[in-house]
Amino acid sequence: MKTTTRSALVLLGMATALVAQEPAASPPAAAPAAPPAAETPAEPAKPAVADPAKEEIEKLTVENGLAEARLKAETNGLRSEVTKLKMEKELLAERMALSAVKRQADQEGEVAKMEAERAQLMRDAELAKVRAEYLTNQLKVVQTEAGIEVSKLQNQIASIEMDTKRRTYADAKPVYLENPLREDGTLVISDRRIALNGPISMSTAEHITDRIDFFNNADKKMPIFLVIDQSPGGSVMAGYQILKAMESSDAPVHVVVKSFAASMAAGICTLAKESSAYPNAVILHPQISSTLFGQINLTEQAEIVKESQRWWTRLATPVADKMGITTDEFIKRMYAHSTSGDWSEFGEEAQKLKWVNHIVKGIEETSLTKNPDVKPAAAPVVAEFPEEIDDKGKPFSYLPRLTPKDVYFLYNPDGYYRMR
């Protein structure tokens, strides 16, 4: 539209220039007055000749007018559009200003809200801190009171435990006498005491010899007591080891039989330098006996008998010598007392036979300064000879396997102790 208007203006300018260049028509010369003509009938008028330049000018004038109208209209439209755009711009600016104001207000409101919340949080934190300090102080008070109470209870428990523990011990102390047998017939046993009960095995020998060595290292003068409540005897090697430990001990070893000592245990009692027994204690000397298991030929049997005979000679000879008889007489007198050859005597008769040195009327165990009913918390002890039941419902106990060349010198009339 702008191009068309511009073209119309150019054409209008060209037309105006052409009109300006065209020379002005000179006015016609005045004609002489013609004589009046006679009235004749009028002739029809000739049509005028069209002027192309004029027509073009009129055409351009019209187009120019139209162009001006259109330009005016377009100008008015553009003005209207510009006015509209200005209004929209102003409206948009107003909206943006309002939005900015609102956003600022919202931000200020949010900041104010956040500040209020922050202030509230700070107040809450301060209150929490004060409450925490209060509760901490209260807790300290409670802990202090509880600690005092716990201390009281602990002291009470400790006192009770101490009293209980104290009651487990006697006020008396072990009595050590170089000559432990008093004139009234009472034997005073100190805590240098070793128990020998049950079958004698290599572990029994180790237990006893270790303690004999320890007591010697502690004191080489005060006596050591090997107390036999009951023992059926056992391994001759283990028994011989015990005898040699007794012989080599600097401190005298007193063997004490309270109830029953047979076979190897009887030999230990008889061969001890110092020995004592209750009047009704039983001491039994049998011959060495062997139990054969499995398929054993005559030669092997003869070898076992020969080995047993050699041990019997070594064990019986010193016993017979102490009695003042030969080993053959010893065997003869055994069978004179019983068909099994098991010769047993009560303490008083055993003293006459020199199987025991002293008969005591009483034994004072000064080593028992702790209540025997109070057992220490320790791992359970596995029995060396656990009891079993055979297929006939009869109880028995297996003996440990002997080392080579060893034999059992054991009183076992009911077959309770068995070999595997």
Q: How many domains does the chain fold into?
A: 2
Is residue 181 a part of any domain in this protein? no
Could you tell me whether strands 282-285 and 343-346 are parallel, antiparallel, or unpaired per DSSP bridges?
Answer: antiparallel
Q: Are 178 and 221 in contact (CB under 8 A)?
A: yes
At residue 391, the pLDDT reads 92
Q: Are residues 265 and 410 in the same domain?
A: yes
* Claim to verify: residue 262 and residue 295 sit in the same structural domain: yes
For residue 39, being part of any structural domain is answered with: no
- The Cα–Cα gap between 149 and 142 comes to 10
Other beta carbons within 10 angstroms of residue 162's beta carbon come to 10
**Structural domain ending residue among the three candidates 130, 165, 200:** 165
Rounded mean pLDDT for each run of 10 residues along the chain, 420 residues in total: 50 50 46 48 57 84 86 84 86 85 81 86 90 89 87 85 72 89 95 94 94 96 96 92 96 97 95 96 84 63 79 87 93 90 94 97 87 57 73 89 70 84
Domain co-membership, 269 together with 413: yes
DSSP 8-state symbol, 280: T
pLDDT of amino acid 227: 97
Q: Are residues 302 and 342 in the same domain?
A: yes
Same domain membership, residue 190 and residue 154: no
CA distance 382 to 225: 25
Decide which of 116, 135, 165 is a domain's last residue: 165
Q: In terms of domains, do 270 and 321 share one?
A: yes
Check whether residue 88 and residue 191 sit in a common domain. no
Q: Looking at the structure, do residues 158 and 203 belong to the same domain, yes or no?
A: no
Domain coverage including residue 95 = 2-18+57-165
CA distances from 146 to 15, 139, 343, 397 (A): 123, 10, 73, 58
Q: Does one domain contain both 127 and 274? A: no
Is 23 contained in some domain? no
In this structure, are 153 and 209 located in the same domain? Answer: no
262, with CB counted inside 10 A (0-12, 13-18, 19+), is: buried
Residue 177 lies in a domain: no
* Predicted structure pTM score: 0.58
Q: Are 204 and 335 within one domain?
A: yes
Is residue 330 in some structural domain? yes
Residue 405 region by backbone torsions, left for phi larger than 0, else alpha for psi between -120 and 50, else beta: left
In a domain, 305, yes or no: yes
The 10s digit of each residue's pLDDT in 143-200 is: 888 889 888 888 888 888 777 776 766 777 899 999 999 999 999 999 999 999 999 9
Quick: pLDDT tens for 105-122.
788 888 888 888 888 988
CATH number at residue 359: 3.90.226.10
Do 199 and 133 reside in the same domain of the chain?
no
Would residue 392 count as lying in a domain? yes
**Is 145 a domain residue?**
yes
Under 8 Å between Cβ of 210 and 240:
no
- Give me the sign of the Cα torsion angle 193, 199, 205, 207: negative
